[in-house]
Structures are given as C-alpha cells and as structure tokens.
A and B are shown apart, each in its own frame.
Chain A
Amino acid sequence: GQQLNQSPQSMFIQEGEDVSMNCTSSSIFNTWLWYKQDPGEGPVLLIALYKAGELTSNGRLTAQFGITRKDSFLNISASIPSDVGIYFCAGLGFPNDYKLSFGAGTTVTVRA
C-alpha cells in the first residue's frame, strides 16, 4: 500500500467544539474511507468517498475527497464526549489497487 500521512497525531476536544483532521498521500487515490476505533474494539466505517470533490456527511461528521485525489478531510461538528477514540483514514489506490493503505490515526481525547 501507499504511505498516508494523517494529522494531527492527537488532539484534545472540548464539548461543543468543531474539530478537523486530514490525510494526505503522495499518490492518487480513487477511494477514501474514514474509520473510528474505540478502545478494545475494531475500526468502524464512518464515511466512504468515491469521487474527487465529493462531500459526504454522516450525522455530525463531514468528510471530503480532495480535488487533487491526494487528500481527504474529516470534520466533527459540536463535539460530544463519545467522539473520543482513534480516527483512521484509509485509501485505495488508482487504477486497480486492491490493498487499503491506512494512516497512523488521530487520537481524540477530551480536554479536562
């Protein structure tokens, strides 16, 4: 798989805040996926993106497939405590790559 750079590595949220994270690649992708992993659980698919420029929402989550096909963004609006966890981006290369590449994850914790 290709190397994905996910940032930030970690972030603190305060209830009610909007937060963003992003993922970049050196190669073109034709699919971007965003997952969330809670402690002791497997990753859960949040949003799937298939077209450059696509903007897709899932409740308070919004993700975008970058125009260049080399990046994607995930926004969480009006954070709540259950948003804590690790968020992973994943991409599928172009044209017929069959192996998902994963970012290292963004750890979201609640600010005390």
Chain B
Amino acid sequence: NAGVTQTPKFQVLKTGQSMTLQCAQDMNHNSMYWYRQDPGMGLRLIYYSASEGTTDKGEVPNGYNVSRLNKREFSLRLESAAPSQTSVYFCASSIDYNEQFFGPGTRLTVL
C-alpha cells in the first residue's frame, strides 16, 4: 500500500497563476483533508471531505477550492495564487474522524 500520495512534491507559481494539488489514498478511507503548514503555526485545516460527494470548509478556506473526485482522490485548487499561499500543503485521510494519515506534502512557493 502506498498510503497517501501527493503530487507535485514542489511547485513554484507566479502571483495570479492557478494550479491543482492532487491527493490519492489507497486505504479505503472515508474522510480526506487538506492542511497547510506554516512555520510556528502548526497544521491548519483548509477543507475536508467527510465522505465521497461532500466537502466542507475548515479553518482557512479562503482562496482555495476542493473536489472529492471519488473515494480515493481529493484535489485542492488555487484559482489565483497569492504570496500568502506560500506554504507546505498536506493531504490526510482517515476511516472516521480520528486517526489521520498524512501524505508527504507539496512545497509551494508563490512569487
């Protein structure tokens, strides 16, 4: 099992560009999550999907959109990237709401 995979691993964007971060899990988990991690601020929830077909806002959803494509895949889209979105993005999944398993992260820089 690969667990949670994320692509790309690194990305550099110019302000105003758009991109989609991809996430997939092969553990048959119901719930999936997107977090951002900034120095000294821990992990902050952007969006989550409790089950296939549902998505909800987390703590810091502004500037992002998500799609739960199927049970395995949950993508995060930046429509118009801003320097404040420079961060490390982690996708996670869980069977219910408890033990979450994280992917390796995408390191995004917006110039």
Contact digits for A92-105, partner B, Cβ 8 Å, 1 yes 0 no: 10000111101111
Give the number of chain A interface residues (Cβ < 8 Å).
23
Contact digits for A73-112, partner B, Cβ 8 Å, 1 yes 0 no: 0000000000000001010100001111011110000000
Q: Are A104 and B42 in contact (CB under 8 A)?
A: yes
Contact digits for B69-93, partner A, Cβ 8 Å, 1 yes 0 no: 0000000000000000000001010
Q: Inter-chain contact count A-B, CB under 8 Å?
A: 53
In the assembled complex, how far is the CB of residue A60 from the closest CB belonging to chain B, in whole angstroms?
A: 21
In the assembled complex, how far is the CB of residue B2 from the closest CB belonging to chain A, in whole angstroms?
A: 13
- Apart from A33-B99, A102-B42, what are 11 other A-B pairs with CB-CB below 8 Å? A31-B98, A35-B102, A41-B104, A41-B105, A42-B102, A48-B99, A92-B97, A98-B50, A99-B59, A103-B42, A104-B41
Q: Which A residues lie at the B interface, using CB under 8 A?
A: 1, 31, 33, 35, 40-45, 48, 50, 88, 90, 92, 97-100, 102-105
